[in-house]
Amino acid sequence: MQFQTPQFIDIESKIVGPLTLKQFLYLAAAGGVSFLLFFTLQTWIWFIITAVLAVIAVSLAFVKYNGQSLPKIALRALFFFWRPRLYLWQREMEEKIIEIPQIKSVETARKNLKYYFSEMPSVKKLYTDLMTSKNPIPKREKSSQAHWGRKSKERLATLRKLTGEKEIARRIDYR
């Protein structure tokens, strides 16, 4: 089955000539207020107020900023100033009591630290051992001889790349 998907759903329908219903109502409200003020105010005051009403009505009807209409922006600005904006977040901290043993002397503390750090391997030494040695590092790696009791066989093999060139590479069989 084929269905038609609606397009241009964000565009309002033109009801009164080239105007949408909202645009027409903004302009009609300004015209109605201006019509009522014509009979109650003096001409020069009426003219100033009508000019201000016309500017407000035209801007409400036609001005858009970043794809948003001016009434929507004004309403959101009003809510921004009206509603509270203070957000507080306080992390709840659990109190933990850590007991630190008293150090009897500085010499015993130094001995404890030396003993603690002597058991830890040096990172630089470990890195250089990993990069340069052929022998396994004790207590860290298993030797290749432990792999079914055989040594690895090392020989050369000829490879052909996708471009067609030949290259000689070292081949290691762990079988």
Q: How far is residue 22's CA from residue 60's CA, in Å, rounded to a whole number?
A: 9
Q: Is residue 104 assigned to a domain?
A: no
Per-residue confidence at 163, pLDDT binned at 50, 70, 90? confident
Q: Any idea what DSSP says for residue 145?
A: G
Q: How far is residue 50's CA from residue 34's CA, in Å, rounded to a whole number?
A: 6
Identity of the highest mean pLDDT range in 37-41, 82-86, 92-96: 37-41
- Its domain, for residue 56, covers 14-62
Q: Is residue 49 assigned to a domain?
A: yes
Q: What is the pLDDT of residues 3-58, one digit of tens each?
A: 888 887 777 888 888 999 999 999 999 999 999 999 999 999 999 999 999 999 99
Q: Is residue 45 assigned to a domain?
A: yes
Q: Is residue 32 assigned to a domain?
A: yes
Q: How many domains does the chain have?
A: 1
Beta strands 19-20 and 14-16 are: antiparallel
Element (H, E) at 34: helix 21-40
Q: What is the pLDDT of residues 11-24, one digit of tens each?
A: 788 888 899 999 99
Residue closest to 126 by CA, chosen among 115, 113, 140: 140
Q: Is residue 124 assigned to a domain?
A: no
Q: Is residue 37 assigned to a domain?
A: yes
Q: Is residue 38 assigned to a domain?
A: yes
Q: Is residue 81 assigned to a domain?
A: no
Contact 56, 30 (CB under 8 A): yes
